[in-house]
Amino acid sequence: MSRVALGERLELPRAKLSGELGRLVEAGLVAIGGPAASRGGRRSTLVHLADDLRFLGVDVGATSVTVAVTDGRCEVLASESQDCLVRQGPGPVLGTVRTLADQVLGKAPGRLLGAGIGLPGPVSFREGMPVAPPIMPGWDRYPVRDELSGAWGCPVTVDNDVNVMALGERHAGVARSLDDLIFVKIGTGIGCGIVLGGRVYRGVAGTAGDIGHIRLDDYGPACACGEVGCLEAYFGGAALARDALTLARSGRSPALAEQLEHGGTLTAKNVGEAAAAGDFAAANLVREGGRRLGHVVASLVSFLNPGMVVIGGGVSQLGHPLLAEVRSSVYRRSLPLATGNLPIVLSELGTLAGVTGAAWSATDRAFT
């Protein structure tokens, strides 16, 4: 923006603003651009973040890793993804992260000021490490922040993956500029990122939003956390693959049986393809899962009264049939005052939500 507009936004006198901008230009954080649009009188000049600023955003999922490099405004300049099982442990996974980071930084070189990483489990944001993550054996209290900060020579933030996805959608996606929203991620696991007053709400220990382990049935299927009947055990990616395999082997789903014969395995993506092709059993899996998820989201809406619900993650690629079931449950079960102007939408950033949010988290730490 222009110097004049910036001074008005910050309510700073011209001399103070010039001094501060001069200091930031000297530090290489800010650059002076061309003339701004005339507002009458002497033209002001434009100021912007330096073009060579770089931030890394890392999204570690249960089965893949995505790394992106962004500019100072967190616009993705280059990204790389690779299949990688988080169960392999921190050594192999963080090795993959560093390799992908070298690749993307090679495509968009610059000054690396910070990095952010999202992990698929409970994280102590203050200590920068995962704590007793159910699907991440070997990761408990592993010093992720310290290891990556030492490798890259910059500040690193470590957060739960769904929290950084919520940040990404708020700053650059469908929920941009909204101060109150919830982001529901449906992948191998299920989680919820809560943004209140423009900031991620993590709770006292960092476990706020762990909706995947809300118990729906005392006699339900076993969950990865060691309990039974959790939402994740009914509708996570692994649960969908399990139920799809049962339908295929029993002959109740011809479409899934055919896909199993050709591919040798089944995933949530196969369920979506079979449902889209008109397979009744597969479509019923999507409906039942969406209904159960909607019951939990309806409780969140009644409790938090957010301005938007965003649904993302790999299983969200089931698309509008899933979205319709969630909407139906939420609108039916929540108060009209809470849902009267409540959009329930699919993620706009898709696979880039996590890396974008992680980069935003990194800029917050680096610029502060």
- Does the pLDDT value for residue 14 go beyond 80? yes
Do the Cβ atoms of 268 and 223 come closer than 8 Å?
Answer: no
Number of neighbouring beta carbons within 10 Å of residue 153: 7
**Could you tell me whether strands 156-160 and 111-119 are parallel, antiparallel, or unpaired per DSSP bridges?**
parallel
- Does the pLDDT value for residue 35 go beyond 90? no
Q: What is the mean pLDDT of residues 227-246?
A: 92
Minimum mean pLDDT among 60-64, 93-97, 114-118, 181-185: which range? 60-64
Q: How far is CA 24 from CA 32, 50, 97, 360, in A?
A: 10, 10, 31, 20
Residue 40 — very low, low, confident or very high, per pLDDT cuts 50/70/90?
Answer: low
- Does the pLDDT value for residue 184 go beyond 80? yes
Q: How far is CA 364 from CA 1, 58, 74, 77, 367, in A?
A: 20, 15, 11, 19, 6
Q: How far is CA 232 from CA 73, 108, 296, 300, in A?
A: 35, 38, 11, 16
- pLDDT at residue 302 in the model: 93
- pLDDT at residue 41 in the model: 61
Report the residue count for the chain: 368
- Does the pLDDT value for residue 242 go beyond 90? yes
Q: What is the mean pLDDT of residues 216-242?
A: 91
Do the Cβ atoms of 275 and 283 come closer than 8 Å?
Answer: yes
Closest CA to 359 of 52, 57, 111: 57
Minimum mean pLDDT among 52-66, 149-163, 264-278: which range? 264-278
Q: Which runs of E-coded beta strand occur in the chain?
A: 30-35, 45-49, 53-60, 64-70, 76-83, 111-119, 123-124, 129-130, 156-160, 181-186, 190-196, 199-200, 309-312, 344-346
- Does the pLDDT value for residue 43 go beyond 80? no
Distance in angstroms between the alpha carbons of the first and the last residue of the chain: 20
- pLDDT at residue 239 in the model: 92
Do the Cβ atoms of 157 and 119 come closer than 8 Å?
Answer: no
- Model-level pTM greater than 0.75? yes
- pLDDT at residue 39 in the model: 65
R_g (Cα) of the chain, nearest Å:
23
**Digit-coded pLDDT (tens) for 98-147:** 999 999 999 999 999 999 999 998 999 999 999 988 889 999 999 999 99
Degrees (nearest 5) of the Cα angle 94, 29, 197? 70
Residue 206 — very low, low, confident or very high, per pLDDT cuts 50/70/90?
Answer: confident
Q: What is the mean pLDDT of residues 339-363?
A: 93
- pLDDT at residue 44 in the model: 79
Do the Cβ atoms of 140 and 132 come closer than 8 Å?
Answer: yes
**Side-chain half-sphere exposure of 297, counting CA atoms within 13 A:** 35
pLDDT, mean over the chain: 92
**Digit-coded pLDDT (tens) for 166-175:** 999 999 999 9
**Digit-coded pLDDT (tens) for 282-331:** 999 999 999 999 999 999 999 999 999 999 998 888 889 999 999 999 99
Q: What is the mean pLDDT of residues 13-22?
A: 92
